[in-house]
Amino acid sequence: MSKIVDGNYTSVVYSLIKDKQYNDVIKIITNMSDRKRNTRPGLSLLAYCYYYTDDFQNASTIYEQLAALWPQETDYKLHHAQSLYSAGRYEDALRAANGITKSGYENQVRKLTAAIRYGMEDIAGARSLLETNTGPKDDPDIDINYGCLLYKEDRYEEALQKFLNAQTMLGYRPHLSYSVALCYYKLKDYTSALKHIGDIIERGIREHPELGIGMTTEGIEVRSVGNTLTLHESALVEAFNLKAAIQFEKNDIDSAREALTDMPPRWEEELDSVTLHNQALCSMDMSPTQGFHKLQFLMQQSTYPQETLQNLLILYCKHGYHDLASDVISTYSPVKDKYLSNYIREFVDAVIAQQTSPDDAYRKLDNMANKLADSLRKVTRSVQESREARDDKRTKRALLDYENTLEKFIPVTMAQAKIYWDLENYAQAETIFYKSVEFCNENDTWRLHVAHVLFMQEKFKEAIAFYEPIVKKNYNNILSVNAIVLANLCVSHIMTAQNEEAEELMRKIEKEEERLYYQEPEKKVFHLCIVNLVIGTLYCSKGNYEFGISRVIKSLEPYNKKLGMDTWFYAKRCMLSLIENMTKHIIVMRDSFYNECLVFLNQCEFHGKEVATMPDEEDPTNKKELNNVTCEARLLKSLILRQLEY
């Protein structure tokens, strides 16, 4: 920046402030000699600019200095307390606010103290301050603040009403629209929530093109817009995070990710903890390491979003890091994990226990399941009662309550069934599922796994009744259905002498795969391959190797596309079973069949050099060169040739 000419300081500095070039002003003033800088104008403008760049830490230091140098100026004391509050230093802010005793400031101090109490999650404290308020009675701020307290008490409908009231009085305010959207989100009315978020974003794009909304998603490199008061006042960071949350709950992770990249761009070190936390969740399926880093980083800060600990624990369980989960549970109790619900704590506890004692885990889960089933029955009664009383509001609340409790119940009952599933005790797993039929009958995950346990017990007719609706529901987009579901349905049809149904389904899959190939030739699909493998395995397991193996062979064509670690695993299982039965002279095959097998294995040998047969980290023999399909295909070939007494 060029040097300012004498006589131009006033006009240059105030123009910069008017243009929101606060960082330039900060640079000018901090570069001055102490004698000039430590004057009232120097410090006052410096503090002001720090505040407006969201640098509340520095703002509070300078306002504190001003308050000490000019003790008669109570506003400096107020700004000092205010900056501490904005920096999240609530205890310090309270002390500073309590130090302001000058008459005429009571209302402002009370208002600020209430905000600090609210920030500290001291809802009762904030409420009592609000109730002794002596300001004007029709102040819409009062509605807003009561709305905030009601929200914190989970009374979302009443909170929403307060915010809507304030909106009628004040007109459009970004933060108010955000609060409204937030209540709709909690009430699971996502359409209304998204509408209000849309308003905030639309206004943001129109009024602040400089914030670069959506640019990053478009692939345009934009430099950070920084954490300015403008950004803060636009409520965009809040809105985009809420949008991501809604998309995630709607199971649309891509849109959730997009909502986060649409946000005005900032450097990673400038990100607020809520955004960082949500970015971590979005990156878990693509780069879990990065996601874990972010969450672990957040946990080391003095404050972090209250969801952090719970999510970290769930993700540790998901990725099998049970030791880390149990470390975290013991390290972070009981002061820091005040946000961890009993439900999550008990659940994680059971998952950890499962590693050493399935019995113990089962008992823990059973306790939870019983408690939750009781609540579900209670809520069901409440739904019925409020319906009979024609109380719509109460019915809606009770239904929401039911939905939320069911969301807790399902993982518990699934984890219980999983314990038996892992023991291959499918009958007992089925019993567990039927214990929860009254609650879960409409739930897709539950129905899918009921189908699986029926299938594994070869109760094919019953399995169809559970698999088929899942397939029917997605018939127009059949490749969106998990391949194993399609495969098992085909097998179930075949086993109940409904071969035509199976064939029709397979034709449908084949057609869809061909269509997809023309649209996106690079995209890999394994649906038909898996269906053929599962059917092939079925026939082999029933002793019909000729038909079974021919299916397996067909499943891997073309080899360069379909040969992979998993597909080879299942193909080789069938081959080995064939060879075992040949060795025992249980079966004898035609010569032409052996030739087919040898041709197949030759192909696998040819295409399988780069296809590993086990994941890198699971190779204890350190003979990596042997763990590829080419090697194993040769081995199988030699076994067959020996059978043929070559």
Q: How many CB atoms lie within 10 A of CB 603?
A: 18
Identify the residue among 213, 225, 236, 256 touching another protein (CB under 8 A).
256
CA distance 53 to 228: 4
Compute how many residues bind another protein; rule: CB under 8 A: 113
Identify the residue among 502, 533, 604, 611 touching another protein (CB under 8 A).
533
According to the binding rule CB under 8 A, does residue 45 interact with another protein? yes
Residues 431-460 that bind another protein (CB under 8 A): 445, 448-449, 452, 455-456, 458
According to the binding rule CB under 8 A, does residue 550 interact with another protein? no
According to the binding rule CB under 8 A, does residue 78 interact with another protein? yes
Identify the residue among 40, 102, 293, 642 touching another protein (CB under 8 A).
40
Taking the alpha carbons of 297, 299, 302, 303 in that order, is the dihedral positive or negative? positive
Identify the residue among 20, 408, 554, 634 touching another protein (CB under 8 A).
408
Long-range contacts of 159-162 (CB under 8 A, 24+ apart): 159/183, 160/184, 160/187
**H-only helix segments in 120-249:** 123-131, 140-152, 156-170, 174-186, 190-207, 229-234, 236-249
Identify the residue among 46, 100, 112, 398 touching another protein (CB under 8 A).
112
Residues 324-343 that bind another protein (CB under 8 A): 343
Element (H, E) at 286: none
DSSP 3-state assignment of 628?
strand
According to the binding rule CB under 8 A, does residue 105 interact with another protein? no
According to the binding rule CB under 8 A, does residue 311 interact with another protein? yes
Considering only 39-47, 196-204, 471-479, 607-615, which stretch makes contact with another protein by CB under 8 A?
39-47
Q: Spell out the SS3 assignment of 301-316.
A: CCCCCCCHHHHHHHHH
Identify the residue among 481, 491, 571, 633 touching another protein (CB under 8 A).
491
Q: How far is the CB of 340 from another protein (least distance, A)?
A: 12
**What's phi and psi for 643, nearest 5 deg?**
-60, -35
372, 383 contact by CB (below 8 A): no
Q: How far is the CB of 244 from another protein (least distance, A)?
A: 6
131, 124 contact by CB (below 8 A): no
**Is 382 or 496 the residue whose CB approaches another protein more closely?**
496
Q: Residue 359 carries which side chain, given as an amino acid letter?
A: D
According to the binding rule CB under 8 A, does residue 13 interact with another protein? yes
**What's phi and psi for 110, nearest 5 deg?**
-65, -40
Residues 587-646 that bind another protein (CB under 8 A): none
Identify the residue among 230, 305, 353, 489 touching another protein (CB under 8 A).
305
Identify the residue among 36, 95, 381, 461 touching another protein (CB under 8 A).
36
Sequence-distant (≥ 6) Cβ neighbours of residue 184 within 8 angstroms: 160, 190, 192, 193, 196
**Is 454 or 601 the residue whose CB approaches another protein more closely?**
454
According to the binding rule CB under 8 A, does residue 428 interact with another protein? no
Distance of CA 510 to the CA centre of its chain: 33
Considering only 311-319, 469-477, 518-526, 552-560, which stretch makes contact with another protein by CB under 8 A?
311-319
**Is 318 or 461 the residue whose CB approaches another protein more closely?**
318
Identify the residue among 22, 26, 46, 48 touching another protein (CB under 8 A).
48
CA distance 589 to 570: 21
**Is 15 or 602 the residue whose CB approaches another protein more closely?**
15
144, 182 contact by CB (below 8 A): no
Window 160-189: contact mask with another protein (x via CB under 8 A): ---x-----------x--xx--xx-x----
Tokens representing 597 are 């097998």
Distance of CA 251 to the CA centre of its chain: 9
